[in-house]
Amino acid sequence: MTQPDMPTPPWERPPKRRTPARVPLTRERIVDAAYTVLDREGYDRLSMRQVAAELGVAVSALYVHVRDKDELLQLMYNRTFEGYEVPEPDPERWREQVMDFARQARERLLSHRDMAKITMGQVPFTPELLPYVERLLAVLGAAGLPRRVLAISGDMLSTYINGFALEESLWQQRYRETHTSWHKLRDEVNEYFASLPPDRFPNLVALADIMVDESNDYRFDLGVEIILRGLASYIGEPDPDEEGKESGEG
């Protein structure tokens, strides 16, 4: 796609084109290149120099458009959730709506290698993402959650989603570094748990087959479901007080 950068022959007057040959550098193009590098090299090797090389440009040129590497990461973070769709709140279907929200978020986090690592380094409330937080709160609010539960539920869900995705990418990294196939790593971890001394680790041994062997999709969904049930249990209750430890449902 890139124009080969050949010198103009002396006999041919360079055309005075209004459109410059060099596509001008923009934030958009820089973020694009950053994603390319991220997917190819991974987070640890995502450097300003690599991004510049990807664009065929000097490193310092990037700093005209971007204050920091940190700012670049933030731009990537924002782009990942661009056009995120959160439905109109429907009190009847709030569970499915939240589940969809969570699945969509995870999908986007996994759509680029190591994206979760970038997300985790970012304070979760950037202006660009506020609309999505707002809509999630609308969905949860329509379900009838008490104020205080509502206030932390958004944070909670995103913490879980990000944490889960991060763990996934950590496993992927380990697999990339040491193994040839993901199944092989999974089997080995599986075996490892199963081979622990049963007298000291009865539970880990007993659960070895499903601790790792279950599909990540299933484990993710079940985790969200657990949170959903927890949230649902507050519907109709008054706001929990400062010592929110009791209140039955055992």
Kindly indicate which of the ranges 2-10, 61-69, 75-83, 221-229 contains the residues binding its own copies, using the contact rule CB under 8 A.
221-229
Contacting residue, 28, 40, 58, 247, with DNA by CB under 7 A: 58
In the complex, the smallest distance separating the C-beta of residue 4 from its own copies, rounded to whole angstroms, is 41
Give the x-and-dash track for 165-204 against DNA (CB under 7 A): ----------------------------------------
In the complex, the smallest distance separating the C-beta of residue 210 from DNA, rounded to whole angstroms, is 35
Residue numbers 36-55 binding DNA by CB under 7 A: 45-50
Contact status, residue 76 vs residue 34, Cβ threshold 8 Å: yes
Residue numbers 132-161 binding its own copies by CB under 8 A: 133-134, 137-138, 141, 147-153, 155-156, 159-160
What are the DSSP calls for 220-241, one per residue? HHHHHHHHHHHHHTTTTSPPP-
Distance CA 16, CA 118 (A): 43
Buried b (16+ CB within 10 A) or exposed e, 184-223: ebeeebbeebbeeeeeeeeeebeebeebbeeeeeebbeee
Phi, psi torsion values for 26, nearest 5 degrees: -135, 165
Give the x-and-dash track for 23-52 against its own copies (CB under 8 A): ------------------------------
Which listed option, its own copies, DNA, none, makes contact with residue 237 (CB within 5 to 8 Å by class)? none
Q: Which residues contact 141 (CB under 8 A, 6 or more apart)?
A: 89, 150
